[in-house]
Amino acid sequence: MFGGKMKALTFSYDDGVTQDKRLIEILNKYGLKCTFNLNSGLLGTANLLVIGGITVAHCKPQSSEVRAIYEGHEIASHTLTHPSLPKLSEEEITEQVEQDRLRLSELAGYEVTGFAYPGGGKNYDRRVSETIRKNTGIKYCRTFESSGSFDLQDNLFEFRPTVYHHLEFDRMFELGKEFIELEPDTPKLFYVWGHSYEFDLNNSWGRFEEFCRMMSGKNDIFYGTNREVLL
């Protein structure tokens, strides 16, 4: 159970970009909790991404800003520099993950124990997940593959989220309504993930806030970070 409740909602957002500030304002407004997965080796960098012909900012906050920006939410690892982990040796995987975890722990002021695999496509395999489990202080790893399910999972090092907001907005709302109406006999988890810069692609900030408004304030739902609901 989650704080004495059978249902929990959590969010996970990757890359640690400046749009996270706007996202956090929305989450805080509705009493929701999120885990933010950062690349400590890229903090302070400024870039542009072109996705589907649309250019969006992909800028990282300074390391000195991290603790204040993410206060009240969870900071987790996303590797130092966002490489494709299946292409790396076990030693390189360990360095990318553990050094990022340690740096972020110092910035956060608490021990970081969460992780999200970087990159699209096949961004992990069993060798990668086992390397992280054995050689780092990470306690859970989120994949990018949507499960479409609220069921809990045994393997926390290959944890599949329920839905990817940006690619599955309609499905996210459908699942949200289903989750609100659910009266489970066993614990159920609704896990949403994405990147906050994606809201700039089609100005979907308002739609995301609508989702947060719909999901908030339910007495039978626990609102927590990934760490709080998984560990």
* Domain assignment of residue 175, yes or no: yes
Q: Label residue 12 by pLDDT band (50, 70, 90).
A: very high
Rounded to 5°, the CA angle 223-194-151 comes to 50
6 confidence band (pLDDT: 50, 70, 90): very high
Residue at 220 is within a domain: yes
Q: Give the residue numbers spanning the domain of 183.
A: 7-230
The answer as to whether 1 is a domain residue is no
Q: pLDDT per residue over 31-74, tens digit each?
A: 999 999 999 999 999 999 999 999 999 999 999 999 999 999 99
202 domain residue, yes or no: yes
pLDDT number for residue 122? 83
- Condensed to tens digits (0 to 9), the pLDDT of residues 216-231 reads 999 999 999 999 999 9
Question: Cα–Cα distance between 71 and 97 in angstroms, integer?
Answer: 22
pLDDT, the chain, mean = 97
In a domain, 131, yes or no: yes
Per-residue pLDDT, averaged over 22-34, amounts to: 98
Give the model confidence (pLDDT) of 144-188 as tens digits. Answer: 999 999 999 999 999 999 999 988 999 999 999 999 999 999 999
Q: What is the pLDDT of residue 192?
A: 98
What is the domain-level CATH number for residue 86? 3.20.20.370
The CB-side HSE value for 52 (13 A sphere, CA atoms) comes to 5
Does residue 120 carry a pLDDT above 90?
no
188-194 and 54-59: which strand pairing? unpaired
Q: Which residues pair with 196 in a beta bridge?
A: none
How many distinct structural domains can be found in the chain? 1
Is the overall model pTM greater than 0.85, yes or no? Answer: yes
Question: For residue 226, is it within any domain?
Answer: yes
Residue 82 lies in a domain: yes
Residue 200 included in any domain: yes
